[in-house]
DNA sequence: GTAGGGTTAG
């Protein structure tokens, strides 16, 4: 056989492999895994340097990234290193993408540092890798480095960097990225705009997010769910109910995720009639088979004060997965029925068909917290680690801090924070600040406040809390300083809202609100109710209210 | 070749 014929056969074989990929036959992925051994069998010294072979390797790595098959991808990388094969920018980018998708930060960073040539895709993949794997600050550093090196960012880089801003609460850089998106002309691209919206919502800036949402053209279900969710996160659940009505009048129909979000808004507002309406809507829409929707419905009924309806929905679901069970534990928890929640938990554990996960423990720990079951909570926390080999998240530590803080064990709560193996999120410090207020522990409050302000400088509620504590303590200068700081930094406070459901209307009120046409009668009735409460020995804790409503905030 | 959403605390 002449060399010419041999080469022709080899090229045909490789074309055949490429054809298999084009057909995207995931069933024959096991066959794909053998490509490397097939290739090794080939006379690679000649063939590996051909463009066709690099194309096959590239296609193989792309398939691995799609199927999240890290080992198969690694074998290609190892093969390339062994054969001293550079592979070119596209192949290296494909490998980088594989590591980034898998969350293999070390491998990605290692490859990235060794790449002689990098383009905007290489930078984008690495920034995304850091942003999605708990190294958001590093992602932002890399973004700056990219700019310094003169690489022009594209929309993908902006999206990943915005996610890093979201994770670090870096509103200033988020705004700069917004300006950049405007300059580049992709501000209103649906993905960019949705990520910007998420960033503003996460950085306690709902006004900017809603304004951007208004400008968006071609909104889809993801953008609607982002705005609904963001409003709820920022204490504007009533606004998301209105937006949901707008959505129903738009071209885009809600999907299961949007239903979960709107049920959450309903839970926040505690409006039972709306929960019932949504229940009917989701049955008609065929969403009731979705576990997440079912769980949200249970939660909504429980939070809208109808534990009975929540139990009915729970009992009506025969094939309960862990999400459904967890929402029922939480449901009992909201009503202070920690013991029933615990009984149900052990019933689930005994059934041994469903294994508790991190969220299950969050629900059950929260139920213990609401019922003051401290010992049980500590036992469950230990059980989570030792029996179920689950790693507690910041939220689990947050509940433990809340639980101990509420009963006045502030030092123990602080110990939990100090021993946390994870970065402490602002909420945990906020919880300690709240507990310090309950027990008027000024020293602890200042420590908690310092940390929370550093991590979430735009959350006005925490400043209000500290200022009120100073005022109660008679430290008027300190209280005034905090208020001045908030004013100077233009930190906006979302007013606390109360909601009342009246037949087919939902009325919302804020403190000292006189806008309602019947406000005279409402305040008269409030006076009567206050008098009755005093008669029955119920004294309101006005420490919090008195200062919160001053003009200072 | 790279990109936006689902149960959960306070």
Task: Judge whether residue A91 has pLDDT over 80.
Answer: yes
Reported as a pLDDT band with limits 50, 70 and 90, residue A6 is: low
How high is the pLDDT of residue A532? 83
Q: For chain A, how many residues are written? A: 553
pLDDT in tens, A274-325: 999 999 999 999 998 899 999 999 999 999 999 999 999 999 998 899 999 9
Task: Judge whether residue A545 has pLDDT over 80.
Answer: no
Å between CA of A163 and C1' of B4? 10
Q: Quick one: three-class SS letters along A301-354?
A: HHHCCCHHHHHHHHHHCCCCCHHHHHHHHHHHHHCCCHHHHHHHHHHHHHHCCC
Rg (CA), chain A: 28
pLDDT in tens, A145-204: 999 999 999 999 999 999 999 988 899 999 999 999 999 999 999 999 999 999 999 998
CA gap A75, A27 in Å, rounded: 20
How high is the pLDDT of residue A551? 46
- Closest CA to B6 C1' — which residue? A257
How high is the pLDDT of residue A108? 92
Reported as a pLDDT band with limits 50, 70 and 90, residue A23 is: very low
CA gap A482, A498 in Å, rounded: 26
- The protein footprint on chain B, as nucleotides within 7 A of a CB, is 1-10
Percent of chain A with pLDDT over 70: 84
Contact A164, A172 (CB under 8 A): no
Å between CA of A340 and C1' of B1? 53
Å between CA of A189 and C1' of B7? 30
Q: Which nucleotide is nearest to A90 (CA to C1')?
A: B1
Q: Which nucleotide is nearest to A326 (CA to C1')?
A: B7
Å between CA of A100 and C1' of B1? 12
Task: Please tell me whether the overall predicted TM-score, pTM, comes out greater than 0.85 for this model.
Answer: no
Q: Report the half-sphere exposure of A56 (CA within 13 A, side-chain side).
A: 26
Q: What count of other Cβ atoms lies within 10 Å of the Cβ of residue A265? A: 25
DSSP string across A420-470: -SSPPPHHHHHHHHHHHHHTT-HHHHHHHHHHHHHH-TT-HHHHHHHHHHH
Angular region, A108: left φ>0, alpha ψ -120 to 50, beta rest: alpha
- Mean pLDDT score across all residues of chain A: 85
Task: Judge whether residue A264 has pLDDT over 50.
Answer: yes
- Decide: helix, strand or coil at residue A511: coil
Q: Which nucleotide is nearest to A117 (CA to C1')?
A: B1
Q: How far apart are the first and last CA of chain A?
A: 89
Q: What share of chain A is helix, strand, coil (3-state, %, to 5)?
A: 70, 0, 25
A545 CB-near residues (< 8 Å, 6+ apart): A511
Q: Which nucleotide is nearest to A193 (CA to C1')?
A: B4
Å between CA of A121 and C1' of B1? 7
CA gap A266, A237 in Å, rounded: 7
Longest dimension (CA), chain A: 108
- Rounded to the nearest 10°, the torsion over CA A126, A132, A133, A136 is 80
Reported as a pLDDT band with limits 50, 70 and 90, residue A497 is: low
Å between CA of A237 and C1' of B8? 18
Distance of CA A82 to the CA centre of its chain: 41
- Closest CA to B5 C1' — which residue? A222
Å between CA of A132 and C1' of B7? 21
Q: Which nucleotide is nearest to A194 (CA to C1')?
A: B4
Secondary structure element (H or E) that encloses residue A508, with its range: strand A505-509
Q: What count of other Cβ atoms lies within 10 Å of the Cβ of residue A497? A: 17
pLDDT in tens, A399-423: 999 999 988 999 999 999 998 888 8
């Amino acid at each position: 056989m002449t060399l010419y014929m041999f080469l022709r056969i080899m090229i045909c074989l490789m074309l055949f492999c490429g054809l298999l990929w084009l057909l995207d036959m995931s069933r024959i992925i096991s066959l794909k895994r053998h490509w490397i051994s097939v290739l090794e069998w080939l006379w690679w010294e000649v063939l590996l340097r051909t463009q066709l072979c690099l194309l096959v390797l590239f296609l193989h790595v792309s398939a691995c990234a799609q199927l999240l098959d890290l080992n198969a991808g690694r074998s290609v990388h190892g093969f390339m290193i062994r054969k001293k094969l550079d592979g070119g920018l596209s192949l290296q980018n494909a490998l980088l993408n594989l590591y980034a998708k898998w969350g293999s930060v070390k491998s990605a960073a290692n490859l990235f540092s060794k790449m002689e040539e990098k383009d905007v895709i290489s930078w984008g993949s690495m920034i995304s890798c850091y942003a999605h794997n708990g190294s958001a600050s590093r992602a932002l550093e890399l973004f700056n480095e990219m700019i310094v090196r003169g690489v022009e960012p594209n929309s993908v880089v902006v999206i990943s960097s915005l996610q890093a801003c979201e994770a670090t609460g870096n509103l200033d850089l988020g705004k700069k990225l917004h300006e950049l998106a405007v300059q580049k002309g992709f501000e209103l691209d649906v993905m960019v705009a949705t990520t910007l919206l998420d960033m503003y919502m996460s950085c306690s800036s709902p006004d900017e997010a809603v304004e951007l949402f208004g400008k968006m053209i071609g909104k889809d279900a993801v953008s609607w769910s982002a705005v609904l969710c963001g409003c709820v996160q920022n204490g504007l659940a009533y606004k998301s109910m209105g937006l949901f009505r707008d959505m129903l009048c738009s071209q885009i129909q809600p999907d299961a995720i949007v239903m979960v979000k709107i049920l959450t808004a309903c839970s926040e507002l505690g409006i039972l009639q709306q929960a019932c309406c949504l229940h009917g809507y989701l049955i008609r829409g065929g969403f009731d088979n979705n576990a997440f929707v079912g769980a949200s419905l249970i939660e909504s009924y429980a939070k809208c004060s109808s534990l009975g309806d929540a139990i009915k929905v729970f009992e009506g679901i025969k094939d309960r997965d862990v999400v459904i069970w967890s929402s029922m534990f939480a449901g009992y928890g909201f009503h202070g029925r920690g013991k029933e929640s615990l009984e149900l938990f052990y019933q689930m554990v005994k059934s041994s068909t469903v294994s508790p996960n991190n969220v299950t423990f969050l629900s059950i720990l929260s139920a213990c917290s609401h019922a003051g079951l401290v010992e049980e909570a500590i036992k469950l926390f230990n059980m989570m680690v030792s029996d179920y080999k689950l790693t507690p998240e910041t939220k689990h530590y947050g509940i433990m801090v809340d639980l101990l803080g509420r009963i006045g064990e502030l030092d123990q709560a602080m110990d939990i924070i100090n021993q946390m193996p994870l970065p402490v999120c602002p909420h945990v410090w906020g919880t300690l600040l709240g507990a310090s207020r309950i027990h008027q522990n000024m020293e602890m409050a200042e420590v908690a406040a310092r940390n929370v302000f550093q991590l979430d400088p735009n959350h006005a509620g925490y400043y209000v809390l500290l200022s009120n504590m100073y005022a109660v303590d008679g430290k008027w200068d300190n209280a005034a300083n905090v208020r001045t700081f908030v004013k100077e930094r233009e930190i906006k406070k979302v007013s606390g809202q109360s909601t009342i459901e009246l037949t087919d209307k939902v009325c919302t009120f804020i403190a000292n609100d006189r806008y309602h046409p019947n406000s005279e009668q409402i305040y008269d009735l409030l006076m009567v109710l206050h008098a009755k409460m005093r008669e029955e020995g119920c004294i309101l804790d006005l420490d919090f209210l008195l200062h919160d409503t001053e003009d200072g905030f």
